[in-house]
Structure 1
Amino acid sequence: MPDAQIPEEKLTVVKYLANFAVKPMFRTPVHKTPADHGIPEWQDITFQSDDGTPLEGWYVPAVGGESDKLIIMNHPMPMSRSGFTGHWGEPWSGVDDIEIDFVAHIAHLARAGYNVLAYDLRNHGNSGAANGGICGIGRYEWRDCVGAKAYVDSDPKLSKMKLGLYSQCTGGNAQYEAMSRRPDMFENVLCMLSPLVVSMTSLMGEFAKLQGVSEYMEQMDFEQKKLGGFTNAEMTPHDFAGAVKVPTFVVQVKDDAWTTQEDGQKTFDLLGTNEKEMFWIEGTTRRFDGYNYFGEHPERMVAWFDKYMN
């Protein structure tokens, strides 16, 4: 059992961190559309997760004419398909005060000849609520990855396209588990871009150090279970990385203040494919700078998909 003698002021911090780990304290709105980046055409789409949770997204055809190449794109917690609104102030700036613009990534891909299906995970953006609002950092959200793939497979046009995945952070953890649970569904995936997947033991351990409560990780797990969530050790891509058989490009922030290089390297090492590359983003300690990287520097992103999908 956790330490019953934890000081009250420390317990308050631990409970705050536990809540952050398992239950997004707010939703990030879909604050931009493809039009904000000059993309003339897209359509709103809706489909169901594997467990029936209603999900919302966009289908963005390639600029200059729909192509035969499709990328399914998801996002981190607590963001949406359009990114993050830290620049709007509280409550978002309490996590980080910058804007993250995933629509910029979509626009680069669309201009490079890719159709993009981008969607909001459950309990995020405009998608439906599920599991009491709990985020499993992949442990529930894998069902959304399965739902997105089922939507593509059931569409007469989309199902004939060459397929790649852009699976980020929580969405990447979810995609690894989806591949573990439903390997047959993903056999036709040609490649995956996998930025900033993370183990919560690493992430929350670093948060605890920054907040001066690192000796109370057992208490944090206890508080997370009380909230209806998972322990930190249960929320990791390591348990499912071996099921990833497709060529995979892993991206991490090298000096990320919120996690460790060892965690990112272990995820990469455990991938069940020999066709894999690792790229370390340098020059920043801010994790959220990593999420913006391909919006500002799309060359590696486009080159990876071109290598396997052209």
Structure 2
Amino acid sequence: MTSRRTSHDLHTELASLTTEAFRPELAEIDRLPTLDIARLMNGEDAGVPAAVATQLPRIAAAIDAVAQRMARGGRLVYAGAGTAGRLGVLDASECPPTFNTDPAQVVGLIAGGPEAMVTSVEGAEDSPELARKDLDALGLTADDTVVGVSASGRTPYAVGAVEHARALGALTVGLACNEHSALAAAAEHGIEVVVGPELITGSTRLKAGTAQKLVLNMLSTITMIRLGKTYGNLMVDVRASNDKLRARSRRIVSLATGASDAEIEKALTESGGEVKNAILALLSGVDGPTAARLLHESGGHLRTALTHATA
């Protein structure tokens, strides 16, 4: 059984982390006018994209590896605690409506389960055993990817998830906001976005959270681009589940084809609302069933299907 860390051990660990560092120059921030605090906070946030930029080669390498496995049917799984876990759940939950993915294709695991999305679950983040249990419930395979997310880079739940996933042969990514982190070291692809001390000491929902959100945006979005979920910068796999998305679907078909409203409505109706099929039918002149077949044969890549349709 994994031994519990003492309070002294934890204090020593936290003292060594840049995300936990105290900034004496901000010790009287509560005395400042609100506008001055807002300017300070905005200035802090402005440096986050530059910190992410230093990790772009590592991020790109991770994305290519993730996309390769997802093309074989693998899943993308985020694992984290607290803010990091919530950001993973958020990113995963936005993939089905944006890219028409199966809800089981991109999964967010948070230490403590769904309850932890809105309240703290005592001790959950300190349990690598809980991470192993959560991953085992998914039936992890070598085609899956597990992304451990932790600002400190030392959260036992995130590190445990990555270690267990790697032992099972899955691809692993460790996303942290401190250098020389245990999380990055445990993963095949380590990404360390060092944003420095927070405006409010140790509140890693601020710059660290923003950095994590930016990287997760890249991981999921660019992976989906690689998987053919877009046509140019158009969301051609959008799921039209409400009036706004149905209107967006019509607009996407219009931007991609330049067809008239009547032609678009006809194509969408004949394709059962599938935007890709409608675009392919309009641009290549094939009927609905042929469009569906060509897309299937092209692995869902619209550009490839268009090339085959016009060959």
The alignment's TM-score, normalised by the length of structure 2, stands at 0.35
Q: Which has the higher contact order (CA 8 A, sep 6+)?
A: 1
The alignment's TM-score, normalised by the length of structure 1, stands at 0.35
**Which protein has the bigger helix share?**
2
